[in-house]
Copies of this chain bind each other. A is one copy, B any other.
Amino acid sequence: MSNQSVVVIGGGPAGLREATTVAELGQQVTLIEKRSYLGGMPIAENYSNLTPYFMQADEAMGAIISHLQSLDGVTIMTDTTVTACTGEAGNFSLAVQGKDGPASVEAGAIVLATGFQHFDPGRETQLYGYYEFPDVIALQDLEAMMKEGNIVRPSNGEPPKRVCFVQCVGSRDRQIGNEYCSKVCCGIASKEAIEIREALPDTEVFIFYIDMRMYGYWESQIYWPAQEKHHVQYVKGIITEVLPKNGQLLVRGEDTTMGRPMEVMMDMVVLSVGMEPSVGTREMSALLGVKQNKYGFVEAVNAPLDTVTTSQAGIFAAGAALGPADLEDCTSSGGLAAAKAIGTIRRSMAVAG
């Protein structure tokens, strides 16, 4: 007898979409989240506004969480981690550890939505002084500042007069092993640059980039207005060093368009850190025996014409657990993964009679 319930592991944008889709299709779903709250990175890292439409992150995530909670057949387990998995497609049994101790959850199919973590800019190369100089921050630190409506230099609490973003920190970098492009950082940095310009109209904002990867509509939604309406200054260049100097930050590198060395003074430097598989993605992949690619993300074994099937029958993945992903990717792949999970259960039931 096969089990008709789907287990979704991870309560961020992809996992919420999966659980919602399963429930909307009339199937039982259990959403397991190790944090004490749902919403994933946008909530955990205090994102201010979502890319590309500047939707307030709390409100947007809150709306989809409320909708999920309103649906029949949904069980949400926060503060819960998966500790073991036995069985097979149609009949999985998960051991979980929650607030109230260990428990068991049965499922016909499993969807991994365990997401990403931000690259740690203190690691190995690209040492831009994130841990040394208070005014060197990362994309998510600026989100949290903007959420509080308080864009200031951490060193002195004053609004910065000159801010720059350094792109590709932890991405496109063979030395650290992350050869891939993290896909979203160009868009997010540009969105944040616009928000700085709106909040602090006298502040100059620069973005140092290798290629501006504003694919699809991001080009017209973010990149053009950033330049034309908000006067964000894009400079094709490589930043090699950030040093403190006279109470500011000296940013050294090469302006690759002008073909000359560049030294500029900034009040604040924002590192556009890339995406890496989260600890949860690594741990759950190993626990479930799902093949990971060389970077530790879950491998979609039938891509590109099936984006969510993993190496294990009955186990699917969606969102940034599969690699760099924007919100639209998470939403779409979450929907396909949910449908695939239910399809697995239907087939198991047909076989089981």
**A contact residues vs B (CB 8 Å cutoff):** 13, 17, 21, 24-26, 50-53, 55, 60, 64, 172, 179-183, 211-220, 224, 256-259, 303-308, 323-329, 331-340, 342-343, 346
Nearest residue (CB) in B for A51 is: B304
Is the pair A25, B342 in contact by a Cβ cutoff of 8 Å?
Answer: yes
Question: Can you tell how many copies of this chain the complex includes?
Answer: 2
A218 partner residues in chain B, CB cutoff 8 A? 181
A13 partner residues in chain B, CB cutoff 8 A? 305
Interface centre among A21, A303, A339 (most CB of B within 10 A): A339
Is the pair B24, A346 in contact by a Cβ cutoff of 8 Å?
Answer: yes
Interface centre among A21, A182, A304 (most CB of B within 10 A): A304
Is the pair B336, A224 in contact by a Cβ cutoff of 8 Å?
Answer: no
Nearest residue (CB) in B for A304 is: B327
Name the 6 nearest CB pairs between A and B, nearest first: A335-B336, A332-B332, A179-B220, A304-B327, A24-B343, A181-B219
Given A211-B211, A216-B324, A324-B216, also A332-B346 (CB < 8 A)? no
Pick the residue among B21, B256, B323 that contacts A336 (CB under 8 A): B21
Interface centre among A60, A220, A257, A259 (most CB of B within 10 A): A220
Is the pair B336, A307 in contact by a Cβ cutoff of 8 Å?
Answer: no
- Assembly CA distance A346 to B217 (angstroms): 33
- Assembly CA distance A219 to B337 (angstroms): 25
Min CB distance A269 to B, Å, is 22
Pick the residue among B213, B306, B328 that contacts A303 (CB under 8 A): B328
- Assembly CA distance A70 to B33 (angstroms): 38
- Assembly CA distance A116 to B203 (angstroms): 41
- Assembly CA distance A96 to B258 (angstroms): 59
Is the pair B339, A219 in contact by a Cβ cutoff of 8 Å?
Answer: no
Is the pair B224, A179 in contact by a Cβ cutoff of 8 Å?
Answer: yes
Given A180-B219, A257-B256, A343-B24, also A304-B336 (CB < 8 A)? no
- Assembly CA distance A172 to B182 (angstroms): 22
- Assembly CA distance A170 to B183 (angstroms): 23
Can you list 10 A-B pairs, Cβ within 8 angstroms, ordered by A?
A13-B305, A50-B304, A179-B220, A181-B215, A211-B211, A213-B213, A213-B214, A305-B331, A335-B338, A336-B336
Pick the residue among B52, B216, B308, B326 that contacts A181 (CB under 8 A): B216
- Assembly CA distance A288 to B340 (angstroms): 29
Nearest residue (CB) in B for A217 is: B180
Is the pair A217, B332 in contact by a Cβ cutoff of 8 Å?
Answer: no
Is the pair B326, A308 in contact by a Cβ cutoff of 8 Å?
Answer: no
Is the pair B323, A304 in contact by a Cβ cutoff of 8 Å?
Answer: no
Is the pair A216, B328 in contact by a Cβ cutoff of 8 Å?
Answer: no
Min CB distance A157 to B, Å, is 34
Is the pair B219, A172 in contact by a Cβ cutoff of 8 Å?
Answer: yes
